[in-house]
Amino acid sequence: MIGLDKNVHDFAIRLLLAHGKTIEFYGPADITRETTGAIVNAANSSLLGGGGVDGAIHKAGGPAILAECRQIVNRIGRLPAGKAVITTGGRLRAKYVIHTVGPVYHGGNRDEAKTLASCHRESIRLADQHGLDSLAFPAISTGAFGYPVSDAAPIAVSSAITELSSVPHVLKVRFVLFDIPTLRAYVRAAEKLSHSNTVPPFQIEKGS
């Protein structure tokens, strides 16, 4: 963690994929402090800011982010759930913000899982198209949108592993999670996936 002993890892676990690619799980933490090429904003369809991660990113990044969001809205209208767009990072340490709209949870019967997976795939794809080597995700849809963390985590992790394995430029994904229960849910999801054949193979390295 920032400001701590340099020998202390800043991740709980790290997944080691082929070709030197990694996925890290970190928390409790503030995603607005990330130095990855982009951070992902759990936005709403209006792209005009809101609460939670969305509000924190706009507050930390300043008015340049909202100005570019307004330009995007003028071009495309509301951003559909599962899609992603990119703006400047403004005053953030990250150069870019990738805005994606997660699904509102309705019991899992309205393709929420498919939409949540699309959020992660589209965000990684967009970062790759802009030549970025890293990006950081929050726990999309698990706040005000009501997605149970235990259900969201396996979808987020599996879609990130699959998409990261297929793109040429992005080398690192970080899940920057707000609290310990969320971090534990994502770590459990990764550990279970390591024993499955549903995603490209990876090894697990534990932090200390």
128 in active site? no
* d(C-alpha 149, C-alpha 65), whole Å: 28
Longest dimension (CA), the chain: 48
Structure tokens at 42: 């759990």
When computed from its CA atoms, the radius of gyration of the chain, rounded to whole angstroms, is 16
- The SS3 assignment for 19 reads helix
From the candidates 5, 10, 54, 128, which is the catalytic residue?
54
3-state SS, one letter per residue, for 104-137: CCCCCCCCHHHHHHHHHHHHHHHHHHCCCCEEEE
CA distances from 109 to 26, 85, 119 (A): 30, 26, 18
* d(C-alpha 78, C-alpha 47), whole Å: 7
- The SS3 assignment for 172 reads strand
Residues with catalytic function: 54
